């Protein structure tokens, strides 16, 4: 069970007297940009990417997904991509210096001025320290957790479009035509890092190297735990309870 340790910070269902929650709009609504600087933590398959995309669209702030950025670099055959490929294929974390270099360049772009959602970064204390040294302020850190058996099932069932990076699930979010991307009309792939053996290695690596970040951010008083079990809407409501600006 990947659950937060006893005594860690506030729960997502905690209330703060005198504060109004940040109301999440109905799906499809688009809001005027607001200042939102969030970090999403959680093991692979927990669903943080789905929630990050939802908030990114509705609040007009970019989702900075290190996984997508690394896969794009690998696909393009860039220097960073070539360096990262062997790590990604074996389920190991990409070295800090490489991830930091990619994210730092992204944070300097103009569309980051109204905020951002960091999805998959930081993953280690070294990356968190680097973020602090960049002078990047963080409003909230949301730690998503879920039972390990559900995590494995979620990841093993994934299929991905190699062109648009849309992620499907054979049981929960299948394409209209089996094995074909709805958007691009090309065959979906089963990524190597979504297969059973690599999934188990990824979870072990996460527990060892990334999970301790909850303590790092708990000490800063900005950590909130989000139960990731349930529908997208259920989890979104829990995020609403945590995101008070």
Band of pLDDT at residue 233, cut at 50, 70 and 90: very high
92 is catalytic: no
Catalytic residue among 54, 158, 159, 238: 158
Amino acid 54: pLDDT? 92
Band of pLDDT at residue 26, cut at 50, 70 and 90: very low
- Averaged confidence pLDDT in the chain: 82
Q: Which CATH number fits domain 35-146+196-242: 3.40.50.300, 3.20.20.70, 3.30.450.20, 3.30.360.10?
A: 3.40.50.300
Amino acid 75: pLDDT? 83
106 is catalytic: no
71 is catalytic: no
Dump pLDDT digits (tens) for 121-170: 998 889 999 999 998 889 999 999 999 888 888 889 999 999 998 989 99
Catalytic residue among 37, 85, 191, 237: 191
Q: Work out the percent of the chain whose per-residue pLDDT is above 70.
A: 85
Residues 139, 222: contact at Cβ < 8 Å? yes
| pLDDT above 60: residue 92 | yes
The H or E element containing residue 159 is strand 158-160
Burial per residue of 210-229, b for 16 or more beta-carbon CB atoms within 10 angstroms, e otherwise: bbebbebbbeeebbbbbbbe
Domain ranges of the chain: 35-146+196-242
CA dist., res. 92 & res. 56, Å (int): 28
202 is catalytic: yes
Amino acid 5: pLDDT? 38
Band of pLDDT at residue 7, cut at 50, 70 and 90: very low
Catalytic residue among 54, 140, 154, 202: 202
CA dist., res. 47 & res. 87, Å (int): 22
| pLDDT above 60: residue 72 | yes
Catalytic residue among 54, 71, 123, 140: 123
48 is catalytic: yes
């Amino acid at each position: 069970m990947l659950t937060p340790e006893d005594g860690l910070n506030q729960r997502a269902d905690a209330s703060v007297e005198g504060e109004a929650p940040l109301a999440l709009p109905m799906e499809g609504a688009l809001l005027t940009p607001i200042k939102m600087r969030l970090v999403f933590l959680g093991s692979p398959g927990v669903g943080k990417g789905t929630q990050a995309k939802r908030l990114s669209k509705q609040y007009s702030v970019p989702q900075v997904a290190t996984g997508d950025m690394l896969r794009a670099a690998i696909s393009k055959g860039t220097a960073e991509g070539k360096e990262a490929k062997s790590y990604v294929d074996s389920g190991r974390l990409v070295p800090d210096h490489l991830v930091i270099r990619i994210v730092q360049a992204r944070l300097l772009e103009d569309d980051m001025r109204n905020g951002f959602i960091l999805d998959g970064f930081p993953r280690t204390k070294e990356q968190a320290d680097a973020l602090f040294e960049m002078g990047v302020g963080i409003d909230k850190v949301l730690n998503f957790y879920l039972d390990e058996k559900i995590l494995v099932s979620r990841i093993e069932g994934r299929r991905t479009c190699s062109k648009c990076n849309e992620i499907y699930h054979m049981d929960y979010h299948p394409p209209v035509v089996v094995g074909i991307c709805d958007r691009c009309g090309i065959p979906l792939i089963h990524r190597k890092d979504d297969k059973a053996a690599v999934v188990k290695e990824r979870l072990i690596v996460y527990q060892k190297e990334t999970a301790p970040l909850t303590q790092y951010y708990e000490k800063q008083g900005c950590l909130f735990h989000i139960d990731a079990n349930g529908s997208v809407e259920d989890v979104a409501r829990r995020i609403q309870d945590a995101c008070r600006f």
